[in-house]
Structure 1
Amino acid sequence: MKPSDFQPPLSGNPSHRLGIGAHRLYRPLDSRGSAHERKDVISAEVTDSLKIVQADPLILCLHSALNHNAPMAPAVETLELAVCVQVLNAQGQWISRTHIIHLNPRGEGRFPSLPRNTVTEHPPVLLVETHLLESVDHAQQPG
Structure 2
Amino acid sequence: MRLKIELSQLKNILSTMYFHNEGVEEEKKYWVLFKERFPNLEIFWRHFIVPATKRIEDVRDPKERTCLGTGVQKEITRIVSLHYSVFLALVYCYDHLQHFRISSFEDFYAHIVSALDLAEEFLLRNYLLRLECR
Q: TM-score, normalised by structure 1?
A: 0.24
Instruction: Answer 1 or 2: which has greater helix percent.
Output: 2
Larger Rg: 1
More strand by share: 1
Larger RCO, structure (CA 8 Å, separation 6 or more): 1
